[in-house]
Homo-oligomer: A and B are copies of this chain.
Amino acid sequence: MMGGDGPNSYAQNSEYQKQLLVSAEDLIHDLIHEHLDTENPTFNNSNSTIRIADFGCSVGPNAFFAVDNIISAVEDKYKSNQNHPEFQVFFNDLIDNDFNTLFRNLPTSRKYFASGSPGSFYGRLFPKATLHFAHCSTALHWLSRIPVEVTEKNSIAWNKGRVHYSGAGKEVKEAYSSQYKEDFETFLSARADELVDGGLMVLVILGFPDGALLCESSIGLTFDMLGSCFQEMAKMGKISEEKVDSFNLPFYYPSPSELKAMIEANGLFNIVRIAKLASPMRAKPDPQILTSHLKAVIGVLVEEHFGNGMMIEELFRLQFEKMVESPVLFDGKLWKEANYFVFLKRNARSGSPQQKFQKSKRKTKSSHIMR
């Protein structure tokens, strides 16, 4: 992601992500109200601190919005409780995220103690059983790495000339898909370690409905255009064909049934809800905005791979020219991607006070019914 606050920065090109958070706002509020056990010993102790982590925070504005929403829902829930918790919020992103900008952007009137926690969320970032709420919005489509097979000349999954599995053979899609499974499983297990029993997790995941074809979607076509821009630049001798062949975008877009299957296979969370979010407004797709957004998201990846600062401007000028004539701008049916809201609750560890608490709760309930 592009750091800072400039016109190419992620901070200035993330309105889409913000709109998603707005559509998730009420859902989060209602589900916290329904599923947060304030009587649960991990949420209710004499000096209760509620710890919230946002995974993939970037430089801020949207992460602050999401956190404020979670805190307001938790506060509502604690209204009638004697213990008013203090909130500690951890903002996580990769170590090369611009944390200086994140910290400068922190709202001054915040209701929480803030920290930044650098590192990949495909791994442990916090001590065991210390988080109460984990949040991760539109970040999990980033793979931890490009599957090796797609960059190897001798592999049947070699992705020559393309930058993504969109439109590629099934071997390429499978390589991406198994990398996603591995990453998502690692993510779930790490968060399960970090969350307290009964802890809650909200994921907003960019994916595609079951059966939708990526190559017949706006995202797929955009990546195809990008691939052809690279090829044109290679033909002009501005970048090497070899470099183009080895460049792949580290994004995977799962379907809701894939998500459900992976969460069930992991087994550490109870699925409270998987719902498709209302898609952000796309009234008039603007080629300049679409290109700027793409540049904000992948510009750094391109520079890292090709190592040529100058090329970036030309690449995205070509992309803009193709975008202007692309059906992506006028064919609404191409906008097939969807955002899936996933609300999970950490299962109680066996023998934990939380498990005993849940058992006694069930007992009370059933004896009440029997009376």
Contacts and interface: CB of A to CB of B under 8 A. Distances in A.
Contacts of A100: 98-100
Contacts of A88: 126-127, 130
Nearest to A103: B118
The residue among A86, A100, A118, A119 with the most chain B CB atoms within 10 A of its own CB is A100
Interface in A101-151: 103-104, 106, 113-119, 124-130
A49 B194 CA distance: 11
A283 interface: no
B130 A124 contact: no
Given A88-B127, A100-B100, A115 B113 contact: no
Contacts of A98: 100
A343 interface: no
Count the copies. Answer: 2
A90 interface: yes
Interface residues of A, number: 28
Nearest to A101: B100
Contact of A95 (B47, B95, B104, B125): B104
B113 A103 contact: no
B127 A113 contact: yes
Contact of A125 (B113, B117, B118, B130): B113
Nearest to A196: B47
A261 to B, nearest CB: 30
A86 B117 contact: no
B124 A117 contact: no
Given A114-B117, A117-B113, A118-B103, A129 B95 contact: no
B127 A86 contact: yes
Contacts of A116: 99, 103, 115-118
B128 A86 contact: yes
B103 A95 contact: yes
Contacts of A104: 95-96
Interface of A: 47, 49, 86-88, 90, 95-96, 98-100, 103-104, 106, 113-119, 124-130
> Nearest 6 A-B pairs (CB), nearest first?
A49-B127, A115-B115, A86-B127, A103-B118, A115-B117, A47-B129
20 contacts: A47-B127, A47-B129, A49-B127, A49-B128, A86-B127, A86-B128, A95-B103, A95-B106, A99-B103, A99-B116, A100-B100, A103-B116, A106-B118, A113-B124, A113-B125, A113-B127, A114-B119, A115-B115, A116-B116, A116-B118
